[in-house]
C-alpha cells in the first residue's frame, strides 16, 4: 500500500512539473548599457545608448543619476545629478526608461529635501503617496480661473500698494542684500492660520543662508505648513537646474488637491547661471550674455504652472514669488527683463532706500501688481489710491526741498505728511500685521491723524494703534476682512479708536 501511495505521489509531482513547464514563457529583460567617454564639471559624455530619449534618466555606478540632455548621433551629453568625483571614463551607464520624478504627498510637509526628494533634515525616511515627473505641461487656459482672492503678505506696503492675489506670479527683484528673501519669508510666516501651504526653494544659496532661513521658519512655527527644497552653492549645477521644477511639482500636487499654495524661488538668477554653465559645457551655441537661446523658455514654462484652477478641478491655486538679483540697479538687464515680461508684476527693492534705513526697501514707483488689485479687499482699495498719490507727491517735493528753497505752508504740510506715511510703511522683519491692524493704520494715515505725532515716536504710536485694534467689535473685524465696501459708520468707528490710541502722542 505504501509503495502504491508513493508511486501516485511521484506521478502527481511529475504531472504538476509538466504543467508548470508548459505554462512557463521565456522572457528577456533587456538592459541597454553605455560607456562614459569623457567627464567635465557636472556633465558626462556617454556612448552606446542609441535608444535613449531626451531628458531620460540614466544611472551611473554608485547610485548616481543623470539626465540625457544632448542626444546626438554618436554620443549623448548627460547632466549629472549628484557628486561625480568618483566617476571615471569607461564606467558603465544604464538607461532607466523614465524621466526625473520626485515623491509628493502630505508626508513632505515640514521636511527639508533635495531636488531628487531625498531628505536632508536627518529625520525618518519620506513617506510618499506617489511620484510625479518634475516637468509637466502648464494647465491649459480653459482650466484656469480669474485671480479673485488676496494672498496677504502681512507687509503693509505690499498689501496696500502692490497687492498679491492667489494664483498670481509676482517678481521680487533688487540688488544683493536689499531684503528680497526677507519679504518672501515674511509672506510665508503670515500664512500661518490662513490655510495656505508654502514651498521654499533655495537654488544655489550659501549653506549658512539656507540654514538661517530654515531656522527662522522653525522658530516662528512656519515649518508646520512648509516644504523646503534645497540646493547649496557647492552642489552640482544639474541639481540647481532641476530644483525649481521639483519644487513646483511638489506644490502642484497640493494645488490639484484643491489647496492654496505659495512657492518662493530663491533665486532664479542662480538657476539661469546654472543652466548657462551646463549649456556651455555641452557646447550649445551661446547667445546674449553667453546665455543659450532658450533661457526665456526655461523660466516661462516654469512660471506658467502657477495659476488658479477652475472650480471643476478643485479650485486650488499656486502663487509664485520668483526672486531675481539685479546688478547696479539695472532692471533692464537680460534675465530681469525676461522675468518681468513673464510675471504679473514686480516688487522692486532699491539699495538707495535700503541705505536710508527704510525697511522693507520697496520702491513704490517702480513696483506694480497687474492682477492683485482685482483680488484686493474693498477696504484697501478705498484707501490705497489716496495713499499712493500722497506718497508720490511727497517723494517729488522732498527732492526739490533738498535744494534749500523756502517752502510755502501747503508744501511743508505735504512733506511732513509724507514723512509719516514713509515711517508707517516701515516694518521690522518677522512682524506681520493683521488685516484690521493694517486698515486702522492706513485709515489713520489718510485721515492725517499721525501728522501731529513726532517722527521719533511714530513706531511707538503705531504699536499703540495695533493694540487698540484688539478691542474692535467682532462684527467690525468681520466686515473689514470681507470683500464688501466699508460703511461710513465703520470708517468713523475705526478713526475714533485711532484718535483715542494716538491722543497720548500729540495727535488731534
Cell of 406: 523756502
* H or E stretch at 467: helix 458-469
Say if CB 155 and CB 144 are below 8 A apart: no
Sorted by sequence, the CB contacts under 8 Å of residue 498 that are 6+ apart come out as 440, 443, 444, 447, 449, 465, 468
**Residues facing 65 on adjacent strands:** 59
Question: Is 370 part of the annotated catalytic residue set?
Answer: yes
Check the CA dihedral 395-399-401-402 and report its sign: positive
Strand blocks (E) in 206-300: 226-232, 260-266
Alpha helices in 110-236 (DSSP H): 156-161, 180-189, 207-219
Rounded distance between C-alpha atoms, residue 5 and residue 64, angstroms: 58
Sorted by sequence, the CB contacts under 8 Å of residue 69 that are 6+ apart come out as 43, 54, 55, 76, 77, 78, 79, 278, 282
**In Å, how far are 115, 196, 230 from 321, measured between CA atoms?**
18, 14, 16
Say if CB 239 and CB 201 are below 8 A apart: no
DSSP 126: P
Catalytic residue among 370, 381, 419, 491, which? 370
For residue 420, give the 3-state DSSP assignment.
helix
Label the pairing between strands 368-369 and 112-113: unpaired
Rounded distance between C-alpha atoms, residue 365 and residue 394, angstroms: 12
Cell of 78: 548627460
Bond preceding residue 186 cis, omega within 30 of 0: no
- Residue whose cell numbers read 531684503: 179
DSSP 146: -
Rounded distance between C-alpha atoms, residue 262 and residue 255, angstroms: 10
Rounded distance between C-alpha atoms, residue 318 and residue 136, angstroms: 14
For residue 432, give the 3-state DSSP assignment.
coil
Rounded distance between C-alpha atoms, residue 282 and residue 274, angstroms: 12
Question: Which residues are identified as catalytic?
Answer: 370
Amino acid at each position: 500500500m505504501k509503495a502504491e501511495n508513493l508511486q501516485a505521489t511521484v506521478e502527481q509531482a511529475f504531472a504538476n512539473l509538466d504543467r508548470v513547464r508548459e505554462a512557463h514563457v521565456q522572457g528577456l529583460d533587456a538592459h541597454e548599457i553605455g560607456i562614459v567617454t569623457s567627464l567635465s564639471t557636472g556633465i558626462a559624455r556617454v556612448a552606446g545608448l542609441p535608444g535613449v530619449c531626451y531628458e531620460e534618466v540614466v544611472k551611473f555606478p554608485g547610485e548616481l543619476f543623470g539626465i540625457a540632455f544632448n542626444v546626438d548621433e554618436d554620443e549623448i551629453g548627460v547632466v549629472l545629478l549628484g557628486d561625480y568625483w568618483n566617476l571615471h571614463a569607461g564606467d558603465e551607464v544604464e538607461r532607466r526608461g523614465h524621466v526625473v520624478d520626485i515623491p509628493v504627498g502630505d508626508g513632505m510637509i515640514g521636511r527639508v529635501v533635495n531636488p531628487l526628494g531625498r531628505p536632508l533634515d536627518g529625520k525618518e525616511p519620506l513617506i510618499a503617496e506617489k511620484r510625479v515627473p518634475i516637468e509637466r505641461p502648464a494647465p491649459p487656459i480653459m482650466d484656469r480661473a480669474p485671480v479673485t482672492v488676496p494672498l496677504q503678505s502681512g507687509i503693509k506696503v505690499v498689501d496696500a500698494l502692490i497687492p498679491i492675489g492667489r494664483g498670481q506670479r509676482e517678481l521680487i527683484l533688487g540688488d544683493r542684500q536689499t531684503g528680497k528673501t526677507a519679504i518672501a519669508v515674511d509672506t510665508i510666516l503670515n500664512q500661518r492660520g490662513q490655510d495656505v501651504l508654502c514651498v521654499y526653494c533655495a537654488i544655489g544659496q550659501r549653506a549658512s543662508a539656507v540654514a538661517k532661513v530654515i531656522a527662522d521658519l522653525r522658530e516662528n512655527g512656519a515649518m508646520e505648513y512648509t516644504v523646503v527644497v534645497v540646493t547649496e552653492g557647492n552642489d552640482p549645477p544639474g541639481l540647481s537646474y532641476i530644483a525649481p521644477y521639483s519644487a513646483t511639482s511638489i506644490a502642484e500636487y497640493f494645488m490639484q488637491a484643491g489647496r492654496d499654495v505659495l512657492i518662493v524661488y530663491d533665486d532664479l538668477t542662480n538657476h539661469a547661471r546654472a543652466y548657462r554653465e551646463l549649456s556651455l559645457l555641452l557646447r550649445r551655441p551661446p547667445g546674449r550674455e553667453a546665455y543659450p537661446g532658450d533661457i526665456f523658455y526655461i523660466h516661462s514654462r516654469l512660471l506658467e504652472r502657477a495659476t488658479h484652477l477652475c472650480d471643476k478641478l478643485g479650485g486650488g491655486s499656486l502663487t509664485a514669488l520668483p526672486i531675481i538679483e539685479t546688478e547696479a540697479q539695472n532692471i533692464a538687464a537680460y534675465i530681469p527683463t525676461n522675468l518681468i515680461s513673464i510675471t504679473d508684476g514686480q516688487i522692486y527693492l532699491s539699495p538707495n532706500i535700503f541705505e536710508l534705513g527704510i525697511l522693507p526697501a520697496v520702491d513704490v514707483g517702480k513696483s506694480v501688481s497687474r492682477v492683485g488689485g482685482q483680488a484686493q479687499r474693498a477696504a484697501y482699495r478705498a484707501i490705497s489710491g489716496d495713499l499712493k498719490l500722497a506718497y508720490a507727491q511727497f517723494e517729488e517735493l522732498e527732492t526739490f526741498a533738498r535744494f534749500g528753497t523756502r517752502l510755502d505752508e501747503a508744501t511743508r504740510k505735504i512733506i511732513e505728511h509724507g514723512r509719516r506715511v514713509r515711517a508707517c510703511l516701515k516694518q521690522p522683519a518677522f512682524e506681520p500685521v493683521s488685516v484690521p491692524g493694517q486698515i486702522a493704520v492706513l485709515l489713520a494715515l489718510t485721515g492725517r491723524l499721525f501728522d501731529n505725532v513726532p517722527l521719533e515716536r511714530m513706531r511707538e504710536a503705531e504699536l499703540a494703534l495695533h493694540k487698540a485694534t484688539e478691542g474692535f467689535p467682532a462684527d467690525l473685524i468681520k466686515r473689514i476682512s470681507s470683500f464688501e465696501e466699508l460703511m461710513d459708520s465703520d470708517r468713523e468707528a475705526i478713526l475714533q479708536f485711532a484718535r483715542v490710541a494716538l491722543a497720548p502722542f500729540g495727535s488731534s
